[in-house]
């Protein structure tokens, strides 16, 4: 599929690939060992392939400024639009771990990786289950279809079986459109605004709350398709969930709250969710990007302020190191504990951010 997307800005270039062997002449395939909690779907075994891609990119949540974050999201929408309208391809797995930023020498732009589950668009938009994306970022419609197509019984929860011994089942299909991928990108944006508290992957520690005030990312992260479907259905049905979104967004992202609310409304108030156009989302992102401050402090400036504050035993209100700047005045300890001296100067090595658990794709063997 990467070859079919060749030449599209923001899509990685395939340099080389090869099959992985577990013994001389024996290719690694899931049919040999994979365990599953549900019956195997006939004809869906997978083969282990290693890819070499370029360029080198950084995760979307490692953005440097909010303007870069919104701009990168806009670029990813353009990639989705180009794939659908010009190449006839649907990505189907837009998630936090697949949305990236590339530094190209003249700035940066958003990229979309992991085209493993991409498909050529078919009339009717119906595709076999097994490559529908990451549960946390799936659209409500996909989750609803999957909860109906793959009911998990109590016996299945207690029993694990080898895929090779499972009884093959008829392939089931679900409807997946570009609107589902756009909704997934909204969840990526919302996740970053709630789970992070600044640039360069500054992770936020969410305090426990009672069930009525459960954090949205946690409600979207259950292992059950049915529970996730219920959470996201409620998210768009109950307006109080919009208030929950607004209050849970970290103060650093406060000037992105209008974007979050408008994007939410664009999906919620549309009579036909499948017809939410790319251009409407792009226009919205362009407008909010233009309204963001262009003088937002860079991570380097935040780093310098942190060093200045540490070196000064006392500070006063006029000290630039103490100035309030868009909710973040300095880098916290968890981002600077890896500061190292280099030739008498300080250099910054950001702590590795905590990422969400690995994607939980629809099981198929």
Q: Provide the terminal-to-terminal Cα distance of the chain, rounded to the nearest Å.
A: 21
Pairing of strands 126-128, 340-342: unpaired
Q: What is the pLDDT of residue 339?
A: 45
pLDDT in tens, 101-118: 999 888 999 999 999 899
Please give the residue that has the higher pLDDT: either 159 or 83: 83
In angstroms, rounded to a whole number, what is the distance separating the alpha carbons of residues 79 and 76? 5
Please give the residue that has the higher pLDDT: either 152 or 28: 28
pLDDT at 320 > cutoff 60? no
pLDDT in tens, 211-226: 445 889 988 987 788 9
Instruction: Give backbone dihedrals phi and psi of 134, rounded to 5 degrees, phi first.
Output: -95, 125
Confidence class for position 169, pLDDT limits 50, 70, 90 = low
Longest dimension (CA), the chain: 72
Instruction: Give backbone dihedrals phi and psi of 127, rounded to 5 degrees, phi first.
Output: -135, 155
20-53 burial, b for 16+ CB within 10 Å, e for fewer? eeeeeeeebbbeeebebbbbbbeebbeeeeeeeb
What pTM did the predictor assign? 0.79
pLDDT at 168 > cutoff 70? no
Confidence class for position 47, pLDDT limits 50, 70, 90 = confident
Q: What is the pLDDT of residue 170?
A: 64
Domains of the chain: 13-291 (1.10.510.10)
In angstroms, rounded to a whole number, what is the distance separating the alpha carbons of residues 63 and 198? 9
Please give the residue that has the higher pLDDT: either 125 or 356: 125
Confidence class for position 296, pLDDT limits 50, 70, 90 = confident
pLDDT in tens, 84-100: 999 999 999 999 999 99
Confidence class for position 29, pLDDT limits 50, 70, 90 = confident
Helix (H) and strand (E) counts for the chain?
11, 15
Any idea what DSSP says for residue 52?
E
Task: Return mean pLDDT, the chain.
Answer: 80
Q: What is the pLDDT of residue 311?
A: 72
Confidence class for position 75, pLDDT limits 50, 70, 90 = very high
pLDDT at 158 > cutoff 60? no
């Amino acid at each position: 599929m990467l070859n079919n997307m060749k030449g599209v800005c923001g899509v990685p270039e395939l340099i080389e690939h090869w099959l992985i062997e577990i013994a001389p002449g024996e290719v690694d395939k899931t049919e040999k060992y994979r365990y599953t909690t549900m019956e195997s779907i006939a004809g869906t075994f997978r083969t282990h392939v290693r890819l070499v891609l370029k360029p080198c990119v950084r995760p979307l949540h490692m953005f440097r400024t909010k303007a870069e974050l919104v701009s990168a999201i806009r670029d990813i929408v353009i990639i989705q639009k180009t794939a659908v309208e010009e190449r006839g391809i649907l990505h189907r797995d837009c998630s936090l771990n697949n949305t990236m930023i590339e530094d190209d020498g003249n700035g940066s732009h958003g990229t979309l990786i992991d085209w493993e589950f991409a498909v050529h668009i078919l009339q009717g938009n119906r595709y076999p289950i097994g490559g529908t994306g990451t549960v946390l970022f799936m659209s409500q419609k996909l989750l609803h279809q999957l909860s109906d197509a793959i009911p998990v019984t109590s016996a299945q929860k207690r029993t694990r079986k080898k895929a090779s011994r499972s009884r093959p089942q008829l392939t089931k299909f679900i409807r997946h459109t570009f609107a589902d991928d756009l909704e997934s990108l909204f969840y990526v944006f919302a996740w970053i605004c709630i789970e992070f508290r600044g640039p360069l992957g500054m992770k936020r520690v969410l305090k426990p709350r009672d069930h009525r005030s459960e954090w949205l990312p946690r409600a979207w992260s259950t292992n059950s398709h049915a529970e996730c479907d219920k959470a996201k259905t409620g998210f768009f049905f109950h307006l109080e969930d919009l208030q929950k979104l607004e209050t849970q967004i970290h103060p650093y992202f406060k000037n992105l709250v209008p974007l979050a609310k408008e994007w939410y409304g664009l999906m919620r108030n549309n009579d036909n969710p499948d017809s939410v156009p790319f251009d409407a989302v792009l226009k919205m992102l362009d407008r909010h990007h233009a309204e963001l401050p262009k003088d937002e402090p860079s991570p380097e400036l935040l780093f310098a302020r942190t060093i200045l504050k540490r070196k000064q035993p006392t500070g006063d209100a006029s000290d630039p190191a103490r100035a309030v700047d868009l909710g973040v005045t300095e880098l916290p300890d968890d981002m600077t504990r890896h500061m190292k001296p280099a030739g008498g100067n300080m250099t910054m090595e950001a702590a590795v951010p905590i990422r969400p658990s690995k994607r939980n794709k629809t099981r198929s063997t």
